[in-house]
Structure 1
Amino acid sequence: MSSLIVMPKLGLTMEEGEIETWHKGEGEEVKKGEILFDVTTDKLTNEVEAKESGVLRKIFAQEGDTVKCLDPVAIIAGKNEDISGLLQEVNIDGDEIQPKETVSPVSDKNEMHEAESVPVKREGRIKISPIAKKIALQNNVDFELITGTGPMGRIVKNDVEQYIESNRIKVSPVARKLAEKLNVDLNKINKDGRIMKEDVLKFAKADEVQIQKLSEIDTSQVGEPINGEKIIKMSPMRKVIAKRMSESVRTSPTVTYNMSVDTSELKRFKNHIKDICKVTYTDLLIKIVSVVLKQFPLVNCSISGDSFILKNYVNMGVAVALDEGLIVPVVKDSDKKGLKELSVEFKELAKKAKENKLGPDDMGGATFTITNLGMYGIDTFSPIINQPEVAILGVNRICETPVVEDGKVIIKPLMNLSLTADHRAIDGAYAAQFLAKIKEYIEKPELLLL
């Protein structure tokens, strides 16, 4: 029985996902329980299993496409089963959804050689289906030149595909790289067959030295520009990070405040309870900051238009570094949990993060974020706010530092805290008071017992 495969909703906060990898291709047999495709959402990659056995008859969303939850991505059916009903369900116009094309831009060389084959632009409103128009725009095709074969001369998907195929430039990968290097327009090379590197060199009329130098390039260099630079496509996680960090900088007018704190008592407290519960400095900071946030509601809010949304709870995001980027699991209701419970929960979240087992709900709903670079020897930095939060706390290394106390020079383990705050919600004095309260708890951790 045919079935429509949709983008799964993997968590309450998930709205869309990106197809990262298809493990099956169109026409391949699929067994129930096999991994069908990988979907990336909010820096996470999840495997999606086939719920039915059959043949993968149609793929609607190609690798790299972003699809809204519950929108169709494929059809699984019997080999000879009629799937026209599902296709109509997917697209009311009757045109199947088209995956991303990777063809080269359309060439005009046929128009240059045979005047009688040059299409003539039509006057008036052009009738074209939405999917046909989308494909045409993706491939730089002037759809006014295409003759439609649909009802009443409407241009449909097949018309655009045929036009692209008939005007496609056939060119080797090395020839394409050379053309970019020599600024050669491949459309202007008059050749019936595939354009090779020799054709590009001849057209460019490069001198003998240049030809000898460039003609040594072979297909082993494809993927790297001739000047030795290397192009690496961003991973899905990196793309999400780049997008969100850029949005954060554009959204929030920020100021970073730094304060030095003495960690002597915090270290003593940590060692004193290690027989009962082994905690890290990060665990202690989660607890301390959660308590202090309840006293400074503006630091724990978000902004909507001209209103502040104050939270009567604390969901603590804690940045975890992975090889491919940064991920922020969230400890929910951290203000209501004891130190031991917080420590256990965060360690489990960090483990899941490093094993790529976090779910969307493990990462959503944070009201404040802590990011710790102390283990990398950083003394101070300006962390970027994790939207829609209004502040983020950066934790730096603990350094044995000489200080003057009662007229004497003594050595103390000092640590810098770096608070980046959205100035729309948090003024300098308010930020300073917030940091000073955290400092008080760090230097007198017994206050946690009150």
Structure 2
Amino acid sequence: MANIVVMPKLGLTMTEGVIAKWYKNVGDRVEKGETLFEVTTDKLTNEIESEYSGVVLKLCAEEGDSISCTDPVAYIGEAGEQIKGTGITADEDINDEEKIIEVEKSETAVKTKREKGSYVLASPLAKKMAREKGYDLGHIEGTGPNGRIVAKDVESYTTGKNVKLSPTAAKIAKEFDVDVEALYQGERLMKSDILDSMKPTETSKSEIEILNVDAAQVEETMKLTPMRKTIASRMSESWSTSPRVTYNKAIDTSAMKELRSKIGPTLKDSSIKLTFNHILMKVCAKVLMEMPTINASLSGDTLILHPHANIGLAVGLDSGLLVPNVKNCDIKSLSQIAVETERCIAAARDGKLTMDDLVGGTFTITNLGAYGVSTFSPIINQPELAILGVGAIADTPVVVNGEIVIRPMMNLSLTADHRIIDGLLAAKFLKRITEYLENPYMLLV
């Protein structure tokens, strides 16, 4: 019997995954242990190896589709073999929701008649494109798995003259049943072309005016990615779980700059550039060991004190935010922290982080200084108890020994869980961090 390949559950919190890439097509031979597809979750991108050897009989999803964990994504067996549990063979459609009655083909289009209310199998992107172009999905032939209509099918579909319309023009033409083929002269039809062609007998002036206003405000929808949905869920959880307070303190970064300029060139890995983030991570780890109740997490009525400081650094991506953490920063050298941090950042941007990189954090640093943000209130990364926000460095007039001087000042914003970290402890933490950052040679003591 054919074997079912399902969407794997790659973590305790994973509920769905996105098919990022298929390495095999229907009819291809695949061996056990060979990479079959690539899946993207809310945090990671993983290559999934086949658990079976055989021929790919069916692909139940296309690239870009989001599939729930344990749902089928493919069937592997021998050519012509019956697909287990369906009673059909590889050359038959496994989706019994799509009931095709009759197919009429012409030179310009393939029109598929379906029973009223029957399901049209199409990808979300294909549906969006068809809606914008004013196409009826029931008239488009699908070339994807199981006859699924994919984006390229909509792109290549023609209505007779290969009419090109703007999304707004397509919307109006569809609503008022305008013959776009009669209007088409080779140039893309715009909203004004459709409105100008509509006679008073077809629609009233007031209707055209209303439509003209509405058409200019066509709304688009975008489905949240698994990563963005997870971020939304966890931020809501953090907001409702931790009674938080943010404490702000300005520090003089003159000594940090001097330290970086002197120590940076001595790093063992000359390709790594020492940054303020690396110094902050080392300093925070040092202070967290001095104040262990901050390097902790709360589980029910039990406070768990962690033996080492695993410092997470928030990494912003186009798709969302990841927080890989560097383990044991309290016992690692500044050079080791720098190398490991840059590895995590590169892996995050390339989608190559491991689960170990993402779990086990005890404290997080998030730096928006590069974007000119001076101060902000970061949200705690559960189940941690605090997070440190770092602002931009700006030359600022300050009073030193009774004189006004210009110093490079930076704001630190500590958001702390007030269930465990009260104002006094938070203030002591910031004070101690300031002492180290304004005199980083204390790290050598």
Asked whether the 8 Å contact 2:309–2:362 carries over to 1, the reply is yes
Q: How does 1:339-418 map to 2 (within 5 A)?
A: 339-418=334-413
Deviates more, 1:291-300 or 1:29-38: 29-38
Q: How does 1:264-275 map to 2 (within 5 A)?
A: 264-275=254-265
Letter in 1 for 2:78: G
Within the candidate set 63, 66, 69, 1:64 is matched to 66
Structure 1 distance, partners of 2:230, 2:247, is: 27
Q: How does 1:195-210 map to 2 (within 5 A)?
A: 197-198=175-176, 207-209=203-205
Q: Aligned residue for 2:237? A: 247
Structure 2 distance, partners of 1:376, 1:60, is: 39
Structure 1 distance, partners of 2:338, 2:292, is: 24
Letter in 2 for 1:231: T
Tell me by how many angstroms 1:394 deviates: 0.4
Asked whether the 8 Å contact 1:19–1:37 carries over to 2, the reply is no
1:395-425: CA deviation from partner (whole Å, max 9, x where unpaired):
1111111111221111111111001111112
Q: Aligned residue for 1:428? A: 423
Deviates more, 1:346-355 or 1:266-275: 266-275
State the Cα RMSD in Å.
4.0
Structure 2 distance, partners of 1:360, 1:286, is: 21
Q: Aligned residue for 2:295? A: 300
Asked whether the 8 Å contact 2:397–2:404 carries over to 1, the reply is yes
Aligned length, in residue pairs? 353
Asked whether the 8 Å contact 2:294–2:421 carries over to 1, the reply is yes
Q: Percent identity?
A: 44
Q: Aligned residue for 1:188? A: none
Counterpart secondary structure, 1:398: strand
Asked whether the 8 Å contact 1:399–1:414 carries over to 2, the reply is yes
Q: Does 1:439 align with 2:429?
A: no
Q: Aligned residue for 2:55? A: 54
Structure 1 distance, partners of 2:326, 2:215, is: 45
Q: Does 1:238 align with 2:237?
A: no
1:10-52: CA deviation from partner (whole Å, max 9, x where unpaired):
57x6755423446389955453477644323332232324453
CA 1:73 to 1:207, structure 2 compared with 1: closer, same or farther past 3 Å? closer
Asked whether the 8 Å contact 1:17–1:40 carries over to 2, the reply is no
Deviates more, 1:30-39 or 1:254-263: 30-39
Q: How does 1:84-123 map to 2 (within 5 A)?
A: 84=84
What's the TM-score, normalizing by structure 2? 0.68
Tell me by how many angstroms 1:229 deviates: 3.1
Structure 1 distance, partners of 2:256, 2:296, is: 28
Structure 1 distance, partners of 2:246, 2:212, is: 53
Structure 2 distance, partners of 1:273, 1:254, is: 36
Counterpart secondary structure, 2:266: coil
1:291-328: CA deviation from partner (whole Å, max 9, x where unpaired):
11111222111111222222112111101122222211
Q: Aligned residue for 1:31? A: 30
Q: How does 1:301-340 map to 2 (within 5 A)?
A: 301-340=296-335
Counterpart secondary structure, 2:66: coil
Q: Aligned residue for 1:148? A: none
Off by >6 Å, runs of 4+ in structure 1: 169-172, 174-177, 213-217
CA 1:24 to 1:206, structure 2 compared with 1: closer, same or farther past 3 Å? farther
Tell me by how many angstroms 1:252 deviates: 1.4
Structure 1 distance, partners of 2:255, 2:98, is: 61
Q: Aligned residue for 1:5? A: 5
Which blocks of at least 5 consecutive residues in structure 1 are unaligned? Answer: 89-96, 104-163, 178-195, 218-223
What's the TM-score, normalizing by structure 1? 0.67
Letter in 1 for 2:436: Y
CA 1:28 to 1:209, structure 2 compared with 1: closer, same or farther past 3 Å? farther
Q: How does 1:75-154 map to 2 (within 5 A)?
A: 75-84=75-84
Counterpart secondary structure, 2:404: strand
Structure 2 distance, partners of 1:210, 1:305, is: 63
Letter in 2 for 1:338: S
Q: How does 1:160-199 map to 2 (within 5 A)?
A: 167-168=117-118, 173=131, 197-198=175-176
Tell me by how many angstroms 1:98 deviates: 8.3
Counterpart secondary structure, 2:316: strand
1:302-361: CA deviation from partner (whole Å, max 9, x where unpaired):
111222222112111101122222211111111121111111111111111111211222
Counterpart secondary structure, 1:247: helix
Structure 1 distance, partners of 2:398, 2:132, is: 64
CA 1:368 to 1:225, structure 2 compared with 1: closer, same or farther past 3 Å? farther
Letter in 2 for 1:389: E
Q: Aligned residue for 2:154? A: none
Asked whether the 8 Å contact 1:198–1:215 carries over to 2, the reply is no
CA 1:206 to 1:38, structure 2 compared with 1: closer, same or farther past 3 Å? farther
CA 1:229 to 1:30, structure 2 compared with 1: closer, same or farther past 3 Å? farther
CA 1:14 to 1:229, structure 2 compared with 1: closer, same or farther past 3 Å? closer
Asked whether the 8 Å contact 1:28–1:56 carries over to 2, the reply is yes
Letter in 1 for 2:325: V
CA 1:305 to 1:231, structure 2 compared with 1: closer, same or farther past 3 Å? same
Tell me by how many angstroms 1:173 deviates: 3.9
Within the candidate set 259, 263, 277, 2:249 is matched to 259
Q: Aligned residue for 1:94? A: none
Tell me by how many angstroms 1:289 deviates: 0.3
Structure 1 distance, partners of 2:252, 2:240, is: 35
Letter in 2 for 1:54: V
Structure 2 distance, partners of 1:67, 1:169, is: 23
Structure 2 distance, partners of 1:318, 1:395, is: 11
Which blocks of at least 5 consecutive residues in structure 2 are unaligned? Answer: 88-93, 100-113, 121-126, 136-173, 179-200, 268-272
